[in-house]
Amino acid sequence: FGGNPLLSRLSAVTPRRESDLLPLHSFVRDDSSKLIDYSRLLFEEKIIQKNEIFAFRERDDDIFSRKCNNDPFSLLREPQEYDLGVFLWQVQQGMGSYQASVLSALKGNLDNWTANSSFFSELQEVYRQLGREVASEWMRTTNRLFGEDYVKGRDFAIQSSASVRAYIKDLGMDLGRFVDDYRILGKPAFSASNFSAKYEGLPAERRRAIIRDIVDAQNGDRLTALVANELPKEQVGVVAKLLPENTTNEDLLKAVERTADSYVKCKSNNVNNGIFTRRLTRSSKTTNLEGYVKAVDEIDAFVGQYIDFANEQRKEGDINLGFNDTEAQEALELYVGFLGKDFAQFRRDFQATGNTFQRLPQVRAKYADFFDEDTLKATMNYVAKKRSRDLIDDLSRNTAPTDLISSLASRLKDFGKRDVVNALVELNKTYNFLQNVGATEIISERVKAIPEGADYDTVIEAISGARRQCYSAVTGQDVEVPRGLEDLVDNVVVAYYKNTGTYNGVNIRPALQFIMSIYLREGSEKAFEAVRCLEQNRGIRAKFEQKGVNVDAYERGINRQYHLRTNGSELERIKERIQSEVEQIFDRVGQLNVEEEQVTALQQGSLREQLDAVEKVIGSYEFNDENKGFKLEIKGHIQTARSINGTVKEMEDDVDFYVSTNPLEALHMGQYFGSCLSLSKNHGGINGWASVVQVMDSNKNVIYARTSDGKHIGRNRTALTDQGVLCTRFYQNGNLYLDDAWVDYLSHFADGVRQDVMIPAIFATLGMKSKLEQMMIEGKVAKEQRTVQIDPAYFSAFHGDGISTAKSEDGRIKVDGDMYIIKTQVQPVIPVVREESRPWYRTLLSKIVPDSSQK
């Protein structure tokens, strides 16, 4: 046996009588090494030749009643007290860990140390759970089964304890009954324990009767399948309650199996089964199996609509980024259960609003404690109909404390739904603002001061007035902030309060005060001109003008409009989805026995006309029980086609490229794109200082790309250097393809400013690189390593956004990088210097005309 340590231990155990192989009651210690060969022979004879497990023989004075206080585990806890315990412990430990080559000579799965160790564990478990008498009978049964059939004996020895326990304790049967059933069913009988646990929602009598029926039918596979199916154990009792009390076992199992199929459907489509469970739980009691199956079929049809919808959302991850199945189901439950809407409305509003729609349940939870059900329902209906992502965001992310919300809500009792929503949004906006500036106590005082019965304007003025109390530090005293600018001004004021020191050599506070005080009093253009006229900016402008740079064109930019769309493959993919939905619509219409000529007529005209025509037809069509499912299906496909077609509108648009001359708009270059240049919100406003620098310096600007409805979808900051215009990282919102337009715009910008435009290679997108490299062949673009200098203006700072920068002692910023150079096709125009502007002429003139310097 190759020095097997386990057998060395066994060799020290000698039975008193050769007729008993290792009887539990007769283990004694013996140091005789002469017994090694004897032990080996016994092992070969009893284990290998006779295929027996360790043959424990029952005796009246067995180990369980001997000095153990009916606690067999004492043998394992304190093995030193008992000779038997020492050897039993050693044998069990050895069987669990020893893996020698001798195992290959043994027969069957039982003949490995793990299997034998499992026997000891099973024996202990039977004794612990069921007592000495059952454990003794279980051992006798094990030996008896080994005598009948090796495999059955082995499996019983190492797998039966849990099911024996279930038979006796849960089902009111005994060990003998289990053994008889095991002989009939084989290994499936071991599923009895899991069956009893999973179906504990049924009375013990019902579970026992089901097992008896399965045994009578000799259908062990069904018992195994009942355990393995996808029906959650919590729903077993629900299924039974929905059926009549006199339902047969067979009908109950059919209902269980039919219900389990629905859970399989959810699982295979990666959909949370809650959508099925909630509807099953709310179902009414049925009168028979047929009624139950019909109810489940109806739930299944609803779930099927949702599965199709969920798969659509996942199919286009780039369009529907952020889809969350659990949250979407909660929104659906709110729509159908609380608001009384149908699935078609849910799908329509979800598609129009996007994944933000999933947060509607959070809105309800946020305000449910402060309004009665009718007010809450009307409010939620209003929010849903608005289809506004910003509105849902504002309401769901309200950080105002509950006592403040409660105080305001008590003053909104007689308000309409629109006014209630607006007041809550105003409260949230104001509280977040005051939280950022560290003055939340202001809003609490103002809300408490609102008199009972106050009208809408009074309430809004009280809330928004709390913000205006903080404006004056930035905007100056008695400056009115127009409603349309409040959000933008809020961001600037928050940035002012949060940035109390100097970062990267920049103190933004005086600059923000300068911009906002002029902007709010005199307007955007005056604020822009005021920045240009700062002494430092006049100096930098003069320097570049002397080099022939068109500084006005740089600061004010050029405006160009492009008709843009998504890249071709994405747009085609979306159109293919629309076509797929249309094809499915007409396939289902064809199955309704509609005349072929009518179907052909329905397919004429635009997509909108086709969908309207089909909708009209199915609205008047008389459906029967067999085809009524088509009605919901066709409506679902119509809605999907319309929704996807709506997204195409976002796939092409007229886009304006321009340099912003609006200081307030320019300050939000980070905010619009969620970047670290945000003044306050995104990334904690860590690089918000760079936005202020970009606005305050005449040798820096920001170029925007904006859609026809005013959305900022593209951005690039530039700096005017000693070798041309330097671009930074390109930012984008949405799916429109901007790359070619950027290259074209910057080419025209280069000509307008009369300077090369440099795009660092690390910032050029793949689309840009393709265009730029084509222009390299045409001689319009070069690519080279460059080191450029940015002169100080009002500030001496610049955020490279990923490109190497270094600041010299004289305040200039050095930028290194591998760059694409868009060459200007217009040469710089060096201005002619009039003699009277030269220093020597001015000196001479001062001698002739006393106040010439003033003139």
> Which residues make Cβ contacts (< 8 Å) with residue 148, sequence separation at least 6?
none
* pLDDT per residue as tens digits for the range 495-543: 898 887 788 888 999 999 999 999 999 999 999 999 999 999 999 999 9
Claim to verify: residue 225 and residue 286 sit in the same structural domain: no
Claim to verify: residue 607 and residue 737 sit in the same structural domain: no
Claim to verify: residue 626 and residue 724 sit in the same structural domain: no
Q: Which of 230, 249, 278 corresponds to the end of one domain?
A: 230
Q: Look at residue 434 and tell me whether its pLDDT is greater than 80.
A: yes
Choose the most confident range, by mean pLDDT, from 440-444, 523-527, 577-581, 833-837. 523-527
Average pLDDT over residues 329-350: 92
In a domain, 532, yes or no: no
Claim to verify: residue 159 and residue 212 sit in the same structural domain: yes
Q: Look at residue 110 and tell me whether its pLDDT is greater than 70.
A: no
Nearest Cα neighbor of 699 from 668, 728, 722 is: 722
Average pLDDT over residues 814-842: 74
In a domain, 13, yes or no: yes
| Largest Cα span, the chain | 142
* pLDDT per residue as tens digits for the range 663-702: 999 999 999 988 888 887 554 567 889 999 999 999 999 9
Identify the burial level of 228 via C-beta atoms within 10 angstroms of its C-beta, where 0-12 means exposed, 13-18 middle and 19 or more buried.
Answer: exposed
Least confident of 250-254, 312-316, 332-336, 527-531: 312-316
Dihedral over Cα of 755, 760, 765, 771: its sign: positive
766-798 per-residue burial string, b: 16 or more CB within 10 A, e: under 16? ebbbebbeebeeeebbbbeebebebbbbbbbbb
Claim to verify: residue 214 and residue 264 sit in the same structural domain: no
Q: Is-contact 5 94, C-beta < 8 A?
A: yes
Claim to verify: residue 618 and residue 729 sit in the same structural domain: no
* pLDDT per residue as tens digits for the range 37-94: 444 444 444 444 444 333 333 333 433 333 333 444 343 334 343 343 344 444 444 4
Claim to verify: residue 107 and residue 71 sit in the same structural domain: yes
Give φ, ψ of 684 to 5 degrees.
70, 15
Q: Which of 282, 315, 348 corresponds to the end of one domain?
A: 315
Polymer length of the chain: 855
Distances (CA, A) of 200 to 228, 233, 276, 633: 15, 8, 21, 38
pLDDT at 83: 40
Rounded (5°) CA angle 264-270-275: 70
CATH code at 791?
A: 3.40.630
> Cβ atoms within 10 A of the Cβ of 18, count?
9
In a domain, 520, yes or no: no
Claim to verify: residue 672 and residue 697 sit in the same structural domain: yes
Q: Give the end-to-end CA distance of the chain in Å, rounded to a whole number.
A: 118
In a domain, 524, yes or no: no
Average pLDDT over residues 545-568: 92
Q: Look at residue 462 and tell me whether its pLDDT is greater than 80.
A: yes
- Please give the structure tokens belonging to residue 118: 């499992």
Q: Is-contact 198 227, C-beta < 8 A?
A: yes
Nearest Cα neighbor of 822 from 771, 765, 766 is: 771
Claim to verify: residue 635 and residue 747 sit in the same structural domain: no
Nearest Cα neighbor of 663 from 512, 539, 439 is: 512
In a domain, 472, yes or no: no
d(CA 274, CA 235): 11
Average pLDDT over residues 554-570: 86
Claim to verify: residue 603 and residue 679 sit in the same structural domain: no
In a domain, 343, yes or no: no
d(CA 496, CA 413): 37
Q: Look at residue 467 and tell me whether its pLDDT is greater than 70.
A: yes
Structural domain of 695 = 560-567+654-822
Whose structure tokens read 């020492």? 86
SS3 of 258, please?
A: helix
Claim to verify: residue 738 and residue 700 sit in the same structural domain: yes
Give φ, ψ of 743 to 5 degrees.
-65, -40
Computed over every residue of the chain, the mean pLDDT equals: 82
Whose structure tokens read 């739904």? 417
Q: Which of 595, 630, 650 corresponds to the end of one domain?
A: 650
Q: Is-contact 463 426, C-beta < 8 A?
A: yes
In a domain, 770, yes or no: yes
Q: How many domains would you assign to the chain?
A: 4
Element (H, E) at 770: helix 766-777
Give φ, ψ of 541 to 5 degrees.
-65, -45
Claim to verify: residue 802 and residue 660 sit in the same structural domain: yes
Which DSSP state fits 29? Answer: B
pLDDT-derived band at 316, boundaries 50, 70, 90: low
Q: Look at residue 317 and tell me whether its pLDDT is greater than 90.
A: no
Distances (CA, A) of 471 to 425, 494, 512, 567: 19, 9, 12, 44
Distances (CA, A) of 507 to 42, 500, 501, 655, 701: 92, 8, 6, 35, 19
Q: What are the beta bridge partners of residue 718?
A: 701, 727
pLDDT at 616: 86
Average pLDDT over residues 348-376: 91
In a domain, 396, yes or no: no
pLDDT at 583: 84
